[in-house]
Amino acid sequence: MHRAYQPITPANNLYLKQNWDRDVYRYHRKRVQAAKAVIDNHPPKTYMHLHIKLKKLQIEDERLAIIEKDNRILIEKMAHIMRTGGRVDNVKHDYCRKSLNKTKRYRELLRITYENLAILKRINSREPHYNHIKWAGEWQINRKYMMNITKYPNHWHTTLQPIIQEGQREANRKIKSRLLFNI
């Protein structure tokens, strides 16, 4: 549906007023397009000395030069050994290790062993303070008392074990089925 032009300000000729308003709007849009930002939103300048890091490259080159120098020296030594067969044979088969304090350590070990044997002898010669045979008899009497006052027979849990296991299996099945349906 066509709507008639309605100027904001009064005008004698609506056609001319519409053209003028359109020109004013175009001029406004052109100025908005050409407007420059007051705030600088450009990315900062990139300086090459921040990205290349010449000192780091120099240190790396020096490290590589040292490694190459060490490798060259090792190669020269290996070549000399290969040409001459080496100078010294360091393998000596008739050498046996000697310790300066071997006898002292041996005497210390003997002393500790004798002390341990003496402690063991004292422990074994001492009569026990508690009578374990008396305790075992008292335990048997206490078990009889417990059997007299219990609600269930002595081995009721072993007869119910298969029933309890079946109940646990059924509960596990129900839990698994609930989990499967909830997913």
CA-closest candidate to residue 138, choices 148, 127, 146: 146
Alpha-carbon distances, residue 136 vs 32, 133, 147 (angstroms): 105, 5, 17
> Which residue shows structure tokens 């045979």?
133
Q: How far is CA 166 from CA 125, 160, 173, in A?
A: 56, 10, 11
Tokens in use for 152?
């269930």
The encoded tokens of residue 124 equal 């074994």
User: What confidence score (pLDDT) does residue 87 get?
Assistant: 67
In this predicted structure, what is the pLDDT of residue 1? 42
Q: Where are the alpha helices (DSSP H) in 85-155?
A: 102-125, 132-149
pLDDT at 158: 63
pTM of the prediction? Answer: 0.27
Asked if residue 5 lies in contact with residue 18, where contact means CB atoms within 8 angstroms, the answer is: yes
Spell out the per-residue pLDDT of the chain, length 183, in tens.
456 777 778 888 888 888 999 999 999 999 999 998 888 888 888 888 888 888 999 999 999 999 999 999 999 999 988 888 766 666 667 777 788 888 999 999 999 999 999 999 999 998 878 888 899 999 999 988 888 887 766 666 666 666 667 777 777 777 666 666 655
